[in-house]
Amino acid sequence: MIGFEVLACDEAARRGRLVTAHGAVDTPVFMPLATTGTVKAMTPEGVAATGARIVLGNTYHLMLRPGAERIAALGGLHHFMNWPHAILTDSGGFQVMSLAARRTIGEAGVTFRSHLDGSLHELTPERSVAIQHLLGADVTMALDECTPYPAPHGAVESSMELSMRWAERSRGTFVERAGHGIFGIVQGGVHPDLRLRSAARLIQIGFDGYAVGGLAIGEGQATTFAVLDATVPALPEDRPRYLMGVGKPADLVGAVRRGIDMFDCVLPTRSGRTAQAFTRCGTVNLRNARHADDPTPLDPECGCPACAGYSRAYLHHLCRSGEILGSMLLTAHNLRYYADLMAEMRAAIETGSLADFAAAFESSQ
């Protein structure tokens, strides 16, 4: 079992600490995506230098290539990717569901064809958890069905109920060991009644943490926050809460204020590879011509390599030239920005000043 302690509160927001087999993680926390065993354009040492102490690996991609059994034989995912800190692995459900015409969903699980070579695979709750065990994940996620948005209430209800049956099977096959845990995933679309039923069922089953899934898929920030307002108060106070696939900096600030502890999203790394940088004064597109003669740093308050050693003019040149170094520097910057944002919110919660922090953040963007 993993440990979790709430160290301070500011209204609904929590400052906590998650204790895993590979070290402690201060929360609220943002987890960089190491989808295939690597954070794109970054070394593991570089990821750690941003402040990250937990990353997210992907069951679907790693089971297809290089294979969970191979990774296990080579010492597990931590050793394989040279990452000594914590790893959370998602169940593969979102990726499988996104295959659409390539997959078939049934009570047993999902049968799908690989996007790599068309080979046929079956992913059941038991197999998903077993793969995550082979990878050596500190935090395992239960397999769920990611309901599309929008969808009728009845369809969302059926999907949620299937996810709850899969959650019970996932929990039943999880192997308990010190420093490792399994999270259940609350589903139910944008319907508060279904979200509450889902949360109650997961609590009845009993998990080490609780994720809110099925959001950030087109419903908009106001709806996301409304779902959190309805759902988060129903989750146990002594367990970590994880909002999956979110999001922009403003999304993180709003969700932390609603009691969320953990986040992941492709945005900072993908944006870094497409010349987009997050700064304390808003988002910057380094491809814009106005940066071509700008000798100033990207963000004077940031201590990352991109800001400490290079000008906006040089970063603009790298991005316009398609140089790999541009992706490396901007990815490192974005991850450092996200890590700093979370650290600043942790400090604000400790001093009871998160509302002031949020107001200052909003005015700066």
Q: Per the residue annotation, which of 208, 261, 264, 299 is the catalytic one?
A: 264
Taking the CB of residue 322, how many other CB atoms lie within 10 A of it? 9
Answer for the pair 188, 194: CB distance below 8 angstroms, yes or no. yes
Q: Which of 234, 249, 228, 258 is nearest to 349 (CA)?
A: 258
Q: Which two tokens stand for residue 312?
A: 């906006």
Q: CA 303 to CA 12: how far, in whole Å?
A: 30
The identity of residue 32, as a single letter, is: P
Using DSSP, state whether 247 is helix, strand or coil: coil
Q: CA 364 to CA 55: how far, in whole Å?
A: 28
Q: Which two tokens stand for residue 201?
A: 């069922």
Residue carrying structure tokens 């690989």:
114
Q: CA 112 to CA 76: how far, in whole Å?
A: 25
Answer for the pair 259, 13: CB distance below 8 angstroms, yes or no. yes
Render 300-364 in DSSP notation, one character per residue.
Answer: TT--SHHHHH--HHHHHHHHHHT-HHHHHHHHHHHHHHHHHHHHHHHHHHHTT-HHHHHHHHHHH
| CA dihedral (230, 232, 237, 239) positive or negative | positive
Contact residues for 317 (Cβ-Cβ < 8 A; gap 6+): 292, 323
Residue carrying structure tokens 């940088």:
277
Using DSSP, state whether 169 is helix, strand or coil: helix
Is residue 10 part of the annotated active site? The answer reads no
Is residue 294 part of the annotated active site? The answer reads no
CA triple 17-21-24, angle to 5 deg: 25
- Catalytically active residues are 90, 264
